[in-house]
Amino acid sequence: MAKKRSVRSLIKKESSVECKHSWNIFLMKIGSMAFILFLIKVWPWLNDVLLGIHWGIYLGIVILIMVALVSKNCKKK
């Protein structure tokens, strides 16, 4: 006979997997950010180029990315 699984055990198992997945994504983001900062520090040309750009351009890029991510997440549900 097949073993019955309770709904609570299934929910607990899925939430722990989801939590580990989101933690891995967070660590990848931090690692990517640290690598980019490292490149900016050791490569003077990149430092001059990235710090010479107006801050509003970076803000615009971040807003566009966030709008795309939010709209993608809203469409899934």
- The Cα 9–Cα 15 span in angstroms is 10
pLDDT in tens, 31-63: 988 998 899 899 999 889 888 999 899 999 989
How high is the pLDDT of residue 21? Answer: 73
Residue 40 CB burial class (10 angstroms; 0-12, 13-18, ≥19): middle
Phi, psi of 38 (to 5 degrees): -60, -45
Query: Hey, what are 34's tokens?
Result: 């640290």
- The Cα 51–Cα 31 span in angstroms is 21
pLDDT at residue 17 is higher than 70: no
- The Cα 55–Cα 19 span in angstroms is 34
pLDDT in tens, 4-13: 566 566 555 5
Average pLDDT over residues 15-25: 68
How high is the pLDDT of residue 2? Answer: 54
Single pTM value for the model: 0.51
